[in-house]
Amino acid sequence: MRRICVDMDEVMADLLTEHLRQYNQHFEEELTPEDLVGKGLWVAAPDDRQLQLRAFLDAEGFFEDLPVMPNAQEVLKDLSERFEIFIATSAMVVPNSLGSKYRWLRRHFSFIPPSHYVFCGDKSILRADYLIDDQPRNLLAFEGQGLLYSAPHNLMLTEFVRVNNWLDVARYFESVDPAA
């Protein structure tokens, strides 16, 4: 059975909406996702706000209550009947998030067993056929077929197979033979 690895932040969990909400509130700004096209919040924010941007993520509970991306649950549930699904998240850059990420996955994706969670850093470690990820560097490190999940920061890139949302993911795998 073919194996699909799925990134969490910006693919399963809508991290940007919450990060941006906290940023706008703290700095009294009104940035929108459209303002972040081609760069993302880290690049859009001035240098003297980087530490605070990071502090939002490090705060206890930030990762606990992130919204689920639209259609992620139904599509992954369907895919899990035809493919082996693993969750592969770069959790080590925010070690405070480890417990929260585990609980978030149990709560929202209870059909994926914890034995299929991979909290890692360098995604070249993954032995899988597909990786769905919003970070180009992760797709470049990965040895299988990468699918770039659209996020404002990556919208200008043209060198990857792109999926814009979970319905796109479903369509992509409709024509893939799970046993091939």
Residues that bind a copy of itself (CB under 8 A): 3, 5, 86, 88, 91-93, 95-96, 98-99, 102-103, 113-122, 124-128, 143
Which position has the token pair 């969490």? 8
Three-class secondary structure of residue 17 per DSSP: helix
CB nearer to a copy of itself: pick between 96 and 165 = 96
Whether 134 sits among the annotated catalytic residues: the reply is no
Active site residue 35: no
CA distance 116 to 177: 21
Q: Closer to a copy of itself by CB, 36 or 91: give it.
A: 91
Minimum distance of a copy of itself from residue 120's CB (angstroms): 5
Candidates 167, 140, 155, 161; CA nearest to 16 is: 155
Closest separation between CB of residue 118 and a copy of itself, Å?
Answer: 5
What is the Cα–Cα distance from 6 to 14, expressed in whole angstroms? 14
Q: How far is C-alpha 40 from the chain's CA centre? A: 14
The residue (of 70 and 113) whose beta carbon lies closer to a copy of itself is 113
At its nearest, how many Å lie between a copy of itself and the CB of residue 122? 5
**Residue type for position 2:** R
Give catalytic residue positions: 7, 9
